[in-house]
Amino acid sequence: MDIAKIRNVAFVGHGGVGKTSLVESILFACGATTRLGRVDDGTTTTDFDADEIKRKISLNTATAFCDYKGHRLNVIDTPGYGDFVADARGGLRVAGAAVVVVDAIAGVQVQTEKVWKFANEYGLPRVVVINRLDRERADFFRTLESLQKRLKGRLVPMQLPIGSESGFSGVVDLIAMRALTWADGKMKDGDIPADLAESAKSYRERLTEASAETDDDLLAKYLEEGSIGEEEMLAALRRAVMAGSVVPVIATAASRSIGVAPLLDLIVKEFPSPADSGETEGVDPRTKAPVKRAPDPKAPLCALVFKTISDPHVGKLSIFRIYSGTLRSDSQVYNASRDSRERIGHLGWLSGKTQKPVESLGPGEIGVVAKLKDTLTGDTLCDEGQPVVLSGIVFPEPAISFAIQPKTRGDEDKISTALQRMAEEDPTLHHHYDPETKQLLVSGMGQLHVEVVVERMKRKYNVEVSLLPPRIPYKETVKGRAEVQGKYKKQTGGRGQYGDTWLRIEPLTRGGGFEFVDDIFGGAIPRNFIPSVEKGVRDCMKRGILAGYPVVDLKITLYDGSYHDVDSSDMAFQIAASMGLQKGFMEARPCLLEPVMNVEVTGPAEGAGDVIGDLNGRRGRIVGMEPDGDVVAVRAQVPMSEMLTYESALRSMTGGRGGYSMEFSHYEELPGQLAEKVVAAYRAEKEKH
């Protein structure tokens, strides 16, 4: 495939703005599908998962391909709802450009800002699509204003809408200065309507200026002659878009296919091909030296897996992008991230869940392969002789944990197999067994995420579980200092046990973690037992002392002790240190720390007072408020434990019109009375077992 003709494009934005519908219209317009699917009917190409069809929202990043005017478009549809938006990172990591979709009523929303930042991290050229312009109260110019105010970047309209709300019928193309209108799905090219001529002229000037500014000669020519030609303007705009100095804004109604063809033209004309994106950089895993790989089919292979789909029937599918070299069916590759060899069976192009077999794939292409044994999302596949590791994909840490219980006794093994499979395809899903409470904990990005996991477990893996109330990931620390002796001595018949330590316990600043200082002089404890003391301390910290939560922000100094020639052992010193810490910890004014979240609530302005009052009642601290038209965004910091029931509370407070997002911020001390309750609950639980 001609690399200059490839465009890899990620569709990103807040949930429900029409990304999946837009991708569906593109596939249909290009003839990749024979009928136009609809999100509401569960018939789109990229929302193929049963949970997506049921909920009518995208939960996963999905890919599809189509051909347009001799170009190959790989479209990557990403989820936009808070709990699932992290998956968009995978899509953006391998894309050459992003289409940021916003709603023509809501404008910039919480996740719009988030994906905008993701796209900045990867330095992606982008276009903003104002979609759903056919709806009542939709407003292109008001939305444009909200974009310009809240997103960093030079946003310049490349089109103007023709008609509004249900009368929205097409766009003025400000480059060709033509009117494109749609009737019954067919596009018509005509003259600009008289009532739009004036504003079209003035917006074209702004677009010309913005494009020309990246090129001094062109700007000089424009200022002198007062205009520049279409060809020159396109070339200048392309440079500006690729450099990120201009972000074109266009208008669409995806579900009516209005504006789709001009978006396709823009993707082909303004967005970079993988050849334009140039060399990719990685690291040689053996020498750690930087390595560069050109997008050349003859270069050594290097590809990045950006999505994994795991299915009990089909097995594991790895979706990847090739950066250099050629990958062939029936070959062997090296996973440089895991130091393992993988057999490549059949290769394919992927469209939703459907594979089209291909013999080989070259640079810039996106493909799929089944049944790799060790490979996970973020891994680099390459030639074993010339290994390289590309930077992976950073996924956020889970924000919330629930304990789960099997509905049928003896299903524990089935559950852990299911969770393992699901974690392969979802890097934001974590699980672990807590030996202290004997509970299996499942952690995810939010309540909806964990609920979807439970449903999926039932549908795909045929095992039913119930969710217990979420477990707040408290931590333990101390506020004071203590010096204690930890001594373990046992004499029973034969060889005894002897370990004796003196520990100084001190707090570190918040986030300080753990510090172990060896301050033993004169051999009070032999060198070889010092690591045993540290291990005893660490293990004890992991288990927790006050209420079974991990201990953090602690400095331990081992400053004295004694030993016995025969009876001292590694184990004896571990136990001695652990006993010392347990005693000293309780003397050093222990306390619990609770996670505090950054919360942003958006809702109707008239309800802002209620929202703020409620957040205060949840021990929240309001940190900012931004009115934006008749909508207000309230930012606050609120303890996680107070936010567990927020979803339904907000719904009833705002009549369903409010939305919120939250992510972990930091840890703070849990107030005494609340801490006592947590400790009491822990003791009660422990007595049961």
Quote the least distance from Cβ 52 to Mg ion, whole Å.
Answer: 8
**Tokens describing residue 18:** 């029409």
Determine, following the binding rule CB under 6 A, whether residue 365 of this chain makes contact with ligand GDP. Answer: no
Asked if 464 contacts 419 with a C-beta cutoff of 8 angstroms, the reply is no
Contacts with ligand GDP, 21-60, as mask; x by CB under 6 A: x----------------xxx----------------xx--
Q: How many CB atoms lie within 10 A of CB 496?
A: 15
Taking the least distance from each CB to ligand GDP, the nearer of 95 and 636 is: 95
Q: What is the smallest separation between the CB atom of 60 and ligand GDP, expressed in angstroms? A: 11
Rounded to an integer, what is the distance from CA 427 to the centroid of its chain? 9
Closest by CA to 553, choosing from 479, 477, 482, is 477
Q: Which is nearer to Mg ion, 254 or 258 (CB)?
A: 254
Q: Is the CB of 16 or the CB of 82 nearer to ligand GDP?
A: 16
Phi, psi of 89 (to 5 degrees): -60, -40
Q: Which does 620 bind (CB under 5 to 8 A by kind): ligand GDP, Mg ion, none?
A: none
Integer Cα distance of 78 and 88 in angstroms: 5
- Piece in contact with ligand GDP (CB under 6 A), picked from 249-257, 453-461, 641-649, 662-670: 249-257
**By CB under 6 A, residue 131 contacts ligand GDP:** yes
Q: Residue count of the chain, please give it.
A: 689
Nearer CB in complex with ligand GDP: 18/446: 18
Q: Is 43 exposed, middle or buried (0-12, 13-18, 19+ CB in 10 A)?
A: middle
Q: What does the CA dihedral 466, 469, 475, 476 come to, rounded to 10 degrees?
A: -110
Residue 18 interacting partner from ligand GDP, Mg ion, none (CB closer than 5 to 8 Å by kind): ligand GDP
Q: Which is nearer to ligand GDP, 40 or 413 (CB)?
A: 40
Shortest approach of ligand GDP to residue 87 CB, angstroms?
A: 13
Nearest Cα to 650, choosing from 658, 638, 640, 642?
A: 658
Closest distance between ligand GDP and the C-beta of residue 333, in Å? 33
**Nearest approach, Cβ of 116 to Mg ion (angstroms)?**
17
Q: Does 253 bind ligand GDP (CB under 6 A)?
A: yes
**Residue nearest Mg ion by beta-carbon distance:** 58
For residue 315, what is the enclosing H or E element? strand 315-324
* Contact status: 507 vs ligand GDP (CB under 6 A): no
> Minimal distance in Å, beta carbon 49 to ligand GDP?
13
Least distance between ligand GDP and beta carbon 6 (Å): 24
638 binding partner (options Mg ion, ligand GDP, none; Cβ < 5 to 8 Å by kind): none
Q: Is 134 in the site for ligand GDP (CB under 6 A)?
A: yes
- Partner that binds at residue 208, options ligand GDP, Mg ion, none, CB closer than 5 to 8 Å by kind: none
Of 5, 6, 7, 18, the one binding ligand GDP by CB under 6 A: 18
Asked if 17 interacts with ligand GDP (CB under 6 A), we say: yes
List residues binding Mg ion (CB under 5 A): 19-20, 58
Q: How far is CA 440 from CA 121, 423, 471, in A?
A: 35, 14, 11
The pattern of x and - marking residues 281 through 320 that bind ligand GDP according to CB under 6 A reads ----------------------------------------
Distance CA 237, CA 239 (A): 5
Two tokens, residue 349: 């192009």
Q: Are 109 and 102 in contact (CB under 8 A)?
A: yes
Nearest CA-CA partner of 186 in 301, 29, 340: 29
Least Å distance, CB 56 to ligand GDP, is 7
| Cα angle 24-25-28, degrees, rounded to a multiple of 5 | 90
Choose among Mg ion, ligand GDP, none what residue 75 binds, the Cβ cut-off being 5 to 8 Å by kind: none
State the minimum distance, in angstroms, from the CB of residue 64 to Mg ion.
Answer: 12
- C-alpha neighbours within 13 Å on the C-beta side of residue 390: 27
From the list ligand GDP, Mg ion, none, pick the one residue 40 interacts with, judged by a Cβ distance below 5 to 8 Å according to partner type.
ligand GDP
Residue 67 binds what, of ligand GDP, Mg ion, none (CB under 5 to 8 Å, by partner type)? Answer: none
Using alpha carbons, list the distances in angstroms from residue 337 to 68, 296, 334, 347, 377: 35, 22, 9, 21, 10
Beta carbon nearer to Mg ion, 58 or 578? 58
Would residue 122 be called left, alpha or beta, if left means φ above 0 and alpha means ψ between -120 and 50 degrees? alpha
The span from the CA of 560 to the CA of 557, in Å, is 9
Residue with tokens 């991230």: 337
- The alpha carbon of 27 is separated from its chain's Cα centroid by a whole number of angstroms, namely 25
Across 5-157, where does the E strand assignment appear?
A: 6-12, 62-68, 71-77, 97-103, 126-131, 155-157
Q: Which stretch binds ligand GDP (CB under 6 A): 18-26, 237-245, 306-314, 436-444?
A: 18-26
Contact of 625 with 611, CB cutoff 8 Å: no
Beta strands in 551-620 (DSSP E): 554-562, 590-604
Stretch that binds ligand GDP, among 16-24, 92-100, 487-495, 591-599 (CB under 6 A): 16-24
For ligand GDP, which residue of 71, 89, 93, 132 counts as binding (CB under 6 A)? 132
20 is a contact residue toward ligand GDP (CB under 6 A): yes
Position among 5, 19, 321, 460 found at the interface with ligand GDP (CB under 6 A): 19
In the list 37, 80, 274, 607, the residue contacting ligand GDP (rule: CB under 6 A) is: 80
> Contact between 642 and ligand GDP (CB under 6 A)?
no
Compute the least distance from the CB of residue 20 to Mg ion, in Å. 3
Span from 14-22, 311-319, 352-360, 496-504 in contact with ligand GDP (CB under 6 A): 14-22
Instruction: Give which of 10, 643, 684 is closest to 307, Cα–Cα.
Output: 10
**Closer CB to Mg ion, 73 or 419, in the complex:** 73
Does 159 contact ligand GDP by CB under 6 A?
no
197 Cβ contact list (under 8 Å, min separation 6)? none
Residue closer to ligand GDP, measured from CB, 134 or 553: 134
The one among 60, 74, 211, 255 contacting ligand GDP by CB under 6 A: 255
Tokens of 29: 């317009």
The C-alpha atoms of residue 525 and residue 250 are separated, in whole angstroms, by: 73
Q: Give the interface with ligand GDP as residue ranges (CB under 6 A).
A: 13, 15-21, 38-40, 57-58, 80, 131-132, 134-135, 253-255
